[in-house]
A and B are shown apart, each in its own frame.
Chain A
Amino acid sequence: MAKTGTDLVKRGMAEMQKGGVIMDVVNAEQAKIAEEAGAVAVMALERVPSDIRAAGGVARMADPTITEEVLNAVSIPVMAKARIGHIVEARVLEAMGVDYIDESEVLTPADEEYHLNKSEFTVPFVCGSRDLGEAARRIGEGASMLRTKGEPGTGNIVEAVRHMRKVQSQVRKLISMDLDEVMTFAKDLGAPYDVLLQIREAGKLPVVNFAAGGVATPADAALMMQLGADGVFVGSGIFKSDNPAKFAKAIVEATTHYQDYKLIAELSKGLGAPMKGIDIASLSPENRMQERGW
């Protein structure tokens, strides 16, 4: 009998996105540019993270008109963001036929204690994580895909690098660890023990882990791939650049050929000014989106 919404089906969907670039878009026109450039999926938003940051106030799920417009514009998968812990926003997106939901710290959290119980949904979820503890908690709740949190809307890759390296090194540590040590490691990380055991046995995370938050150049995308990312989310970078179509194509190619440095040099020529960017140290803790999530 056919079964929908199984782990295999939800995680498998993310496997198909590997080696690809998922782009933030705010309307049908941008979605088409992204698809034409070779994006593997688009994230439909009302505002890109840098504009959310600039606007301040409460950031919520996008107006369904925008999501619907994007769903109708492209044949590639469409993702959308729901607030952390906002069960109804997530159910609304699922009902609209969105292909993947990002339970995202870019939006203002609706719940400061609990994340969604994502296992109960048919639609798969992607969540951010900064370390293995956070990654394992999200997997325990039913996330089918992970991404670094980075620091969204800053155009600064430093936090995404930190989060990718952290998760990778903790996974390596776990794999080489004596079984006797795993429970204390789980306690220290605040990670569910059974998820750590699965990771230890498989020798890798059970879901793909993409880079996100601060990717501003083709070289940034290639760097994240080299650090072990399975693919790349690009938020504000593309449609805040001078020539989005060219920029989008360059990011896609740099992600595919992340070790072809001559090609990346060619791709990086004449892209115009990238987004200006923000030094993370200049952001006060309450303005750091990565601190959201528990």
Chain B
Amino acid sequence: MKIGVLALQGAVQEHARIVEAVGAEAILVKRVEQLAELDGLILPGGESTAMRRLIDRYDFLEPLKAFGEAGKPIFGTCAGMILLAKRINNQETSHLGLMDVTVERNAFGRQVDSFETELEIKGVAEDFPAVFIRAPYIIEAGSGVEVLSEDTGRIVAARDGHYLATAFHPELTADTRLMGYFVEMVKDAAVKT
């Protein structure tokens, strides 16, 4: 099972470490050609605007969309969730536009409002440590989207078929349960395709 981490900017090594911890192989993806060998892909936390500039400069946008449209699972955390979303509040355009949700950027406020908490995540854990950093959240989810977790009424984890997104950073803690859940998604998708 090969799982790529888009390595243009952000918390790349942290994701790779957890991928390896759950027994899959982590590939740091810097070039479009590397997508071909992957079973699943992680869009890490970082700065979504910076990542988008680099995605554009290396013509990653269409290959990433095609990767998702081919049924390969993608997991986006924080900035990665923004990249996955079909709609971004107060912005006319989205990025990959794959997941049927509307997200709000920096929705909890600035860095002084960043926080950590424990979340119940459906099918994953009742006490998952979640670190929110200048985080977005989902303000509207399409009818086919399964809401996996909410924090004080705000959607912070969701799944839309083979797309998984969290507003927080599972890569910043040692808890591997969410990655385990994603690896199961990747295994299921590999059986189907």
Q: Which residues of A contact B (CB under 8 A)?
A: 1-6, 8-9, 12-13, 15-20, 35-41, 75-77, 94, 97-100, 122-124, 249, 252-253, 256-257
Contacts and interface: CB of A to CB of B under 8 A. Distances in A.
Contacts of A99: 110-112, 134
A239 B118 CA distance: 43
B54 A38 contact: yes
A12 B115 CA distance: 10
A41 B113 CA distance: 17
Interface in B48-86: 49-50, 53-54, 57, 78-79
Given A15-B11, A76-B47, A8 B131 contact: yes
Given A8-B116, A100-B111, A16 B105 contact: no
A36 to B, nearest CB: 8
B134 A13 contact: yes
Nearest to B77: A16
Contacts of B132: 9
Contacts of B45: 15-16
A12 B133 contact: yes
Closest 7 CB pairs of A and B: A38-B53, A99-B111, A2-B115, A40-B47, A2-B117, A19-B9, A38-B50
B131 A20 contact: no
A292 to B, nearest CB: 26
Given A38-B54, A253-B57, A3 B49 contact: no
B150 to A, nearest CB: 13
Contact of A15 (B8, B14, B50, B112): B14
B116 A37 contact: no
Given A37-B53, A38-B53, A252-B54, A19 B8 contact: yes
A13 B10 CA distance: 10
Contacts of A38: 9, 49-50, 53-54
A12 B44 CA distance: 13
A75 B57 CA distance: 20
Given A16-B11, A252-B54, 4 more contacts: A2-B115, A19-B10, A19-B12, A97-B110
B10 A16 contact: yes
B87 interface: no
Interface residues of B, number: 37
A256 B111 contact: no
A10 to B, nearest CB: 8
B134 A18 contact: no
B169 interface: yes
B89 interface: no
B53 A123 contact: no
A243 B106 CA distance: 31
A20 B46 CA distance: 9
A9 B114 contact: yes
A39 B133 CA distance: 18
A97 B112 contact: yes
B29 interface: no
A35 B133 CA distance: 19
A184 B105 CA distance: 49
B9 A256 contact: yes
B172 interface: yes
Contacts of A16: 10-11, 45-47, 78-79, 133-134, 169
